[in-house]
Every structure is written in C-alpha cells, then in structure tokens.
Amino acid sequence: MTVNDVVILPFNDKILAKTLANAIKKFRYVYSTMMYNRTPVELLDNIFMGDLAKNALLEYLRPLCQKPVIDYDEIRTDNFLEPDPGWDFQVGTKLMKVEVKSSIPTNSESHQAIINKRDIKITASHDKGKTWIQPKDLESELHVQVYFYAKPCKEGYNQFDILYRDVIADSSTIHRVINTDKYKQPFFFGWNKKFSVISYSQTLKPNTWTFEKTSRIYWRCPIKEALTLQQLVEYVNNN
C-alpha cells in the first residue's frame, strides 16, 4: 500500500440516506444494551461513521464486481435488535465475510504517516487482555480500513432516550447533531486477509497495539503491507 493507492470512496445522497436510516436503528440497540461508555452524541457519531465507511465501499465495489456483494444490513432478519455478527458484508462465490473498520487519523497525520505507522483495526481483546479473540477465530476473512479526516462530536445531548426520540421524529436532526458533512471523503487505506493477520500475530513483536482511553487491544496488521482496492476487486471476482 502506497499513498498512490489511497482512494476516496463514493459519497452521495443514496449512501447518506441508507446510513442515516440504519444508524438510527443501530443506535437504539446499542444504547439500550449500554454496551459502550460514550456520550449519546459520540455513540451516534461512531455508529454513523462506521456505517458510512461500509456503505461507501459497497457503492464502489458493486458496479465492478461480477460476483455477489451482500450487505448484512440488507438481509438481516432481526430488525436491528441483535448485535452485528462480526462481519459487515459478504463477497464472491464463496461468500467471504468482510469487516470494515473506520478510524480518524491521529493528529490529522498525513497519508504517508498513516501508511508508515498504523494498522488495520482488528480487535484482539475487548477488556484489556482479560479475554482474547485469537486471529484464527476471527469471523471475517477479509479486513478493510477506511479513514475520515473528521472531528468526532460528543456534546449536545446528555440522555440517550431524548436523542433517540429526536432523530426518530426527524432523521435530518443527525446532520445538525454530528455534522455529517465532515464524512464526505471516506479514504480507503487497504485491506488484508485473515491468513495474514494470523501470520503477523506469530511473527511481529509486539504483535498487538492499543491507545489511551480504551479497553480494547488490537492485532497488528500493518497498513504498509495492506493490499489495494483494485486487488480487492480482482480478489472478489476470482473467488
């Protein structure tokens, strides 16, 4: 992966409408189960960013892939009342599972700095290492990284149920609350296979990474070793 391989994914009204609708449904599930210790606005912002990254990638892939590209949100039967299954969409004849991770660059660092220093976000532990998700047990076969040069919103609402009530009454409220315009440029920063994650876990030292104010630990999967978007299209079409 080089700076020349970074691609700005699509952003249009179709993607925005789909993201808006599904983010509200997912917000209802996540806040009702209290899975995350975040402000109501921060949680909604995080959900929106993740869904937009996935939907933008789908919009790019579908016209170019001759094989199936199936979004879990389009086939799920739980009315968004259950957690996601560990993958975002399936591709190819083999219906390989794909997970899309979205992030914001540390200190707005450059494309080259991201490539040199960062990894695709692949969760190894949710609880500071008390329990682990081994690479061989990852649900997804393919892992994708998308970055947004954006500032997350945190303030505006103190109660989850009031924010949910307002966005249900008028979904366009989200545009004001989290400033959705900041996500107009989803930057594709590579992908890699589960096999590679397993290999890195056995060869890289250290083989995990984390950052302050999180209980999560991630497996190393260097972006500088990641594969390109064109290679992803070819891989889907050949499998």
Question: What's the distance, Cα to Cα, between the start and end of the chain in Å?
Answer: 22
CA distance 89 to 130: 29
Render pLDDT for 7-66 as a digit per residue (tens, 0 to 9): 999 999 999 999 999 999 999 888 655 545 788 999 999 999 999 999 999 999 999 999
**Which one-letter amino acid corresponds to residue 38?**
R
Q: Where are the beta strands (DSSP E) in the chain?
A: 7-8, 69-71, 89-91, 96-103, 122-125, 142-147, 187-193, 208-209, 217-219
Residue 32: what pLDDT? 59
Statement: residue 188 has pLDDT above 60: yes
Question: Domains in the chain: how many in total?
Answer: 1
For 18-39, give one letter per residue: b (16+ CB within 10 A) or e.
bbbebbbbbbbbbbeeeeeebb
Render pLDDT for 163-173 as a digit per residue (tens, 0 to 9): 999 999 999 99
What is the three-class DSSP state of 212? Answer: coil
Render pLDDT for 123-133 as a digit per residue (tens, 0 to 9): 999 889 999 99
What's the chain's average pLDDT?
94
Residue 40: what pLDDT? 92
Range of the domain at 218: 3-238
Query: Model-level pTM?
Result: 0.94
Question: Which residue in the block uniquely carries the two structure tokens 């660059």?
Answer: 105
